[in-house]
A = this chain, B = another copy of it.
Amino acid sequence: MTQKQEHLSKNQQIVLNLIEKAKGPLKAYSILYNVQKRGIKAPLQVYRALEKLIEIGKIHKIESKNAFIACKNSDCEISKATAFSICNNCEHVKEIKNSKLSKYLSNFEDNSGMKYKKYNLEFFGLCKICKLKQ
């Protein structure tokens, strides 16, 4: 049983539902506008839900875009090891699931003697579709 099942509060569930059915990453204020019909009125309610959802690994933040995407991998170790591919043209974002990569990075040590507990990697380029269009 790799799936971590937490009980989510009302607001957390509302925000997660929206992010999960979205095609791409969503920004906080776009989330806010889309959940106002469900009673969430203020930015802070969204940010608090986001914070919790990130903590339990249900979503990830795409740092370069200030946007939030649902985790599709059941085995992201609670968002401690994330990698994304981002298309510079259409902005399509996809979480990379590659065990060699995650193993390589999780075990990475540099000469500083620092052992890393978490990493976030963002790759940029052109996706297959946009490459053809060029």
Give the distance to chain B from A60, nearest Cβ to Cβ, in Å.
Answer: 12
**Chain B residues, CB < 8 A from A124:** 116-120
Instruction: Decide: A116 near B127, CB < 8 A? Known: A63-B63, A64-B63.
Output: no
**Residue among A105, A114, A131 facing the most chain B CB atoms (10 A cut-off):** A114
A interface vs B, CB < 8 Å?
A: 63-64, 85, 87-88, 94, 96, 98, 101, 104-105, 108, 110-128, 131
**Chain B residues, CB < 8 A from A104:** 104
Q: Contact between B120 and A125 (Cβ–Cβ < 8 Å)?
A: no
Give the distance to chain B from A81, nearest Cβ to Cβ, in Å.
Answer: 10
Q: Which 6 pairs across A and B sit closest by C-beta, in order of nearness?
A: A63-B63, A118-B124, A116-B125, A116-B123, A121-B121, A117-B125
